[in-house]
Every structure is written in C-alpha cells, then in structure tokens.
Amino acid sequence: MSAEVEAALKRHAGAVDALISQIVPPAGIPHLSEPVRHHLATGGKRIRPALCLLTCESLGGDPAKAMNFAVAVELLHNMFLLHDDIEDGDTVRRDAPTVWVKYGIPNAINAGDWLLGRTYACAAASPLPDAARLELLEILTETYETTCRGQALDINSRGSDPYAVEDYIEMARLKTGRYLVLGMVGGAVAAGCGRTVKDALWELGENMGPAFQIQDDVIDLTLGKGRGGVLGSDIREGKASILYAFALSKAAGEERERLISIMRRAREETSDDDVRWTIDLYGRTGALDFASGFADNLVRQAFETIERLPVDNKEMFRQIARYMIGRKK
C-alpha cells in the first residue's frame, strides 16, 4: 500500500469512526441501528473516506471541512453493498451473514433506505457555505443515480446473448466511473477547487472505475476472490464479465452454447468442471489477455489525466491511482 495513503488512513481513522458512530448510533433506533451496525462491522478499512480527505489536503484544503462528505461516501458505499447483497442473493460478507439473511429482506431493504437518508444528512451537515453544500448534494445524487443505472444493467446481464464488450464497458462506466472518484471530487469541492480540477477527477474515474472492475474480473480467474482463493466465483454467479463478453464474440457452435448455458445455470448447479472449462475457454479465446490489455490501457489513460491535473502535487494523485489499481495485485 502506498505510504501516503496508509498514513492518511491512520491519521484520520479515529475521526472517521467517531463521525460514523455519531451519524449511525450503535443503538437506540429500533430495527435500524442494529442491522446497519452489523453491516458496517463487515465493512473493511474505510479507504474511501481516507481518499476523500487526502485529496482535499493535497488540493490545499482543510480536511476537517471534507470530513462529513468523506463519511457520507463510506455510508453510500455500504448502503449499496447492503442492497446488492439482497439483489445478488449473497449470504455471507466477510465471514458474517449478510443483513437480509440475519434480519430478513423487509428489514434489509428498509435499513438500506434509511442508511441512504443518513448519507444525505451527513453530507448536508458539512461545515461549508450553502453553494458548496448544494454542490456536494448534487454530486452525491448524480453519482447515486448513475450507479443505480449501472446496477440495473448488471442485474439484467446474467447470461445475456448477445452481449458485447461495449455493453460491459457501458455497465462498468455507469456503475463505477463516478462512484470510485465521488469522494475525491467531494474533497476537491471542500477545498474550493474550480471546474478544471473536478472535471479531471471525474475523467479519472471514467477510466479508473472500469479498469478497477475489469481487474476484479481477471483476479477472480487468476488469484480468486473471497475466502480461500477459490477461482471462478463470477462464473458460478453467472456474472457477465468482460471475459464473458469477449469469449462470446470468439467462440462458436457448441462451445458458444455451452458457455451461455453455464452462465445461465443456477449457482448451486454450476459444477467445478463447468468452472474449469470456462476458465480454459477464456484462456484459449484470448479473453484473459484481452481483458488485461484493456485494463492496462484504461490505467494508462488515467495516468495521462493525472498529468493534465492543474495541481502541483501530481505525485499524490499518482499514488492514489496506483493504490486503487494495485491493492489487489
């Protein structure tokens, strides 16, 4: 991990957690505090708030002014994960049962809804002038909506045929392009930056978001996601990855049919043999190489965007970008 990002994580962890506990009290709100705290406890290292605060600092701002938005981005992220777990039927997150498994679907939907309300309340309480607070609420809304649109494509792409690489990129751009850099843009707003910096950061996301997502697809086939490094979770889930899109364009006849039928198969009916065969197909058709090359190209574009950033401290942004890409390598 980049030393600067790690330092920012450590430096701000206490204040971030304190504000999270204030916005989502660990107890006292019946049937909401408990499921949301249960979910937040599975939530990792609070990297998103650190990137927001680090960006604000790097752009000459006071990170205290970005703290509310930093936490809002973390809450938004968790709200999406909470609803995603229902939508994807995921039963376990970081070795704990997901909220819908533990508290039922009705409570899980409502807890996610409430968490989004807390997200807005947290962002709206930022210690900034009215115009900046409105801007934060507007980028929050725009990103939230765009991510929902990407999620809609993702939900409905399972075993799609036809399904082109362009369809995948469209989905990935919508789902992650804004989402990944929302905190950074919010940090720039809190630092009082103008349009040029903010537009460059959005552009960074347009490339980094899909790059990040593609890398996730590749890792699933090479190193494995989740517990024990099991390969091919996405194949079992029927997730329409960039590899699926590419292989679909190359395979023909029986192989093509078999690929589609494996992707459409229910998770519990997908055999180890199905997974092995699909990974092999992704290798033979060049899908794996294509995906890696595609991601590398997006990353290259992202670094070019950073070079055009009208700020002195470009190295910090290079480190953030390297950190985003490198964290799973």
* Contact footprint for a copy of itself (CB under 8 A): 29-32, 83, 86-88, 105-107, 109-114, 116-118, 120-121, 124, 130-131, 133-134, 137-138, 141-142, 144-145, 148-149, 151-153, 155-156
CB nearer a copy of itself, residue 116 or residue 302:
116
CB nearer a copy of itself, residue 66 or residue 72:
72
Q: Least CB distance from residue 144 to a copy of itself, whole Å?
A: 5
CB nearer a copy of itself, residue 60 or residue 117:
117
Q: Are 314 and 62 in contact (CB under 8 A)?
A: no
Strand (E) or helix (H) holding 92: strand 92-93
* Encoded amino acid at 109, one letter: I
Rounded CA separation 302/321 (Å): 8
Rounded CA separation 274/230 (Å): 14
User: Degrees (nearest 5) of the Cα angle 131, 55, 202?
Assistant: 70
Q: Least CB distance from residue 61 to a copy of itself, whole Å?
A: 20
Q: Least CB distance from residue 154 to a copy of itself, whole Å?
A: 9
CB nearer a copy of itself, residue 156 or residue 261:
156
CB nearer a copy of itself, residue 142 or residue 280:
142
Q: Are 7 and 325 in contact (CB under 8 A)?
A: no
Q: Residue 97 has what DSSP assignment?
A: E
Rounded CA separation 187/193 (Å): 9
Rounded CA separation 260/190 (Å): 47
Q: Least CB distance from residue 78 to a copy of itself, whole Å?
A: 14
Q: Least CB distance from residue 181 to a copy of itself, whole Å?
A: 18
Q: Which residue, chain included where needed, has tokens 């978001």?
A: 209
